[in-house]
């Protein structure tokens, strides 16, 4: 197993290690409040991992505060997991790498697997001795902004991977069923290939084998020796695909376009391809 992945067994054995901090990351903390891995911190993607004024990643000072109050210093091994198939845990992983944290891992299978295995849960909110955290960056080589995506689309200069569902890709729907529509137009960025995030995972939420993942991307013409940009609707599903490409398959030049369809699909004059 890649050294950025740990199993649920590993977490059960190491969650109380002094240099390890388990963190549940969800779009909100409702699931965390209902019961979480004992000793885990809970991070709210909406309010704690994003800038709540400007649409942006969390500012460096806020990240340092969040990590410090979670009892994390620069040498801590951070193990992330969450609901929604680890989507928001992958976002946290991406951000932590942008800010230079060395040792971050994801619990393979996420919250779903932990619960399905009838493992221990706790509703206790742990208190952590505050630590001082010094972040670096952000490393924007891991993040694609709109101008770069526009150039990649127009010049077919990078592999654009749309990780949304086929119905979102074709424009049949504007958001995942049951969720609010967040764009004015449906479809996809011209030149993008549709490789839904779920193709990276097995039914229990764990990642597929490296051989299976290599085959998935190579058959779609996405190669390790080309620049790749992944996107979805708000950047969390594409964080998971970014994680797969960069850390499980070793792609050197892969970026997450967190502006994603909520940016592109609302831009006046932006070209849209459909179906």
Partner 1 sequence: MNAEGYRKRRQELAGWSIEIESYKFGEIYYCTINNVDPGARFARAEGPTREDAEAGALQKAERYLSQTRRFTTTR
**Given candidates 146, 215, 223, 275, which one binds partner 1 under the rule CB under 8 A?**
275
Restricting to residues 96-125, name those near partner 1 by CB under 8 A: 112, 114-122
Q: What is the residue whose two structure tokens read 């006046």?
A: 268
- Report whether 45 contacts 83 (CB < 8 A): no
198 touches partner 1 (CB under 8 A): yes
Q: What's the distance, CA 230 to chain centroid? A: 11
Catalytic residue among 50, 183, 201, 232: 232
> Count of residues binding partner 1 (CB under 8 A)?
40
Cβ atoms 20, 77 nearer than 8 A: yes
How far apart, in whole angstroms, are the C-alpha atoms of residue 39 and residue 178?
Answer: 33
Count of residues in the chain: 275
Query: What do you get for the CA distance between the two ends of the chain, in Å?
Result: 38
> Would you say 94 or 197 has its CB closer to partner 1?
197
**Residue with smaller CB distance to partner 1, 95 or 200:** 200
Q: Find out whether 248 and 240 touch, Cβ atoms under 8 Å.
A: no
- Give catalytic status of residue 232 as yes or no: yes
CA distances from 169 to 85, 119, 161 (A): 20, 37, 11
Q: Using the rule CB under 8 A, which residue among 168, 195, 231, 257 binds partner 1?
A: 168
The only residue of 25, 104, 149, 174 in contact with partner 1, by rule CB under 8 A: 174
Instruction: Give the SS3 label for residue 112.
Output: helix
Q: How far apart are CA 43 and CA 80, in angstroms?
A: 10
Secondary structure of residue 223 in the 3-state scheme = coil
Task: Report the 10 Å Cβ neighbour count for 97.
Answer: 20
CB of 117: closest distance to partner 1 in angstroms? 8
From 91-99, 177-185, 223-231, 243-251, span contacting partner 1 (CB under 8 A): 177-185
Closer to partner 1 at the Cβ: 75 or 274? Answer: 274
Please, are residues 159 and 227 in contact by the beta-carbon 8 Å criterion?
yes
DSSP-derived secondary structure letter, 37: S
String marking each residue 123-162 x if it binds partner 1 according to CB under 8 A: ----------------------------------------
Residue 250 within binding range of partner 1, rule CB under 8 A? no
Q: Which residue of 2, 60, 173, 224 would you call a contact of partner 1, by CB under 8 A?
A: 173
The helix or strand, by DSSP H or E, that contains position 80, with its residue range, turns out to be strand 77-81
Among 42, 110, 138, 186, binds partner 1 (CB under 8 A): 186
**Which residues between 74 and 93 bind partner 1 (CB under 8 A)?**
83-85
Scanning residues 35 to 54, which ones bind partner 1 (CB under 8 A)?
A: 35
Nearer to partner 1, 79 or 174 (CB): 174
Annotated catalytic residues are 232
Binding site for partner 1 (CB under 8 A): 30-31, 34-35, 83-85, 112, 114-122, 164-168, 170-179, 181, 186, 196-198, 237, 274-275
């Amino acid at each position: 197993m890649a050294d950025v992945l740990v199993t649920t067994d590993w977490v059960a054995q190491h969650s109380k290690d002094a240099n390890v901090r388990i963190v549940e990351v969800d779009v909100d903390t409702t699931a965390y409040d209902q019961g979480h891995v004992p000793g885990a911190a809970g991070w709210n993607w909406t309010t704690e991992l994003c800038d709540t004024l400007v649409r942006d990643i969390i500012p460096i000072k806020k990240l340092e505060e969040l990590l410090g109050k979670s009892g994390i210093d620069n040498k801590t091994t951070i193990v992330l997991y969450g609901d929604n198939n680890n989507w928001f845990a992958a976002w946290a992983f991406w951000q932590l790498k942008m800010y230079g944290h060395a040792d971050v891992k994801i619990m393979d299978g996420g919250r779903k697997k932990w619960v399905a295995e009838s493992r221990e849960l706790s509703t206790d909110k742990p208190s952590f001795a505050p630590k001082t955290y010094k972040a670096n960056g952000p490393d924007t080589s891991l993040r694609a902004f709109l101008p770069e995506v526009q150039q990649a689309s127009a010049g077919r200069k990078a592999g654009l991977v749309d990780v949304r569902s086929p119905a979102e890709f074709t424009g049949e729907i504007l958001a995942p069923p049951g969720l609010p529509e967040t764009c004015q137009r449906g479809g996809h960025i011209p030149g993008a290939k549709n490789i839904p995030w779920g193709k990276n995972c097995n039914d229990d939420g764990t990642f597929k084998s490296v051989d299976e993942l290599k085959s998935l991307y190579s058959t779609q013409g996405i190669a390790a020796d080309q620049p790749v940009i992944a996107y979805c609707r708000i950047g969390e599903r594409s964080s998971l695909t970014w994680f797969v490409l960069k850390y499980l398959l070793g792609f050197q030049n892969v970026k997450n376009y967190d502006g994603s369809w909520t940016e592109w699909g609302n831009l006046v004059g932006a070209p849209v391809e459909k179906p």
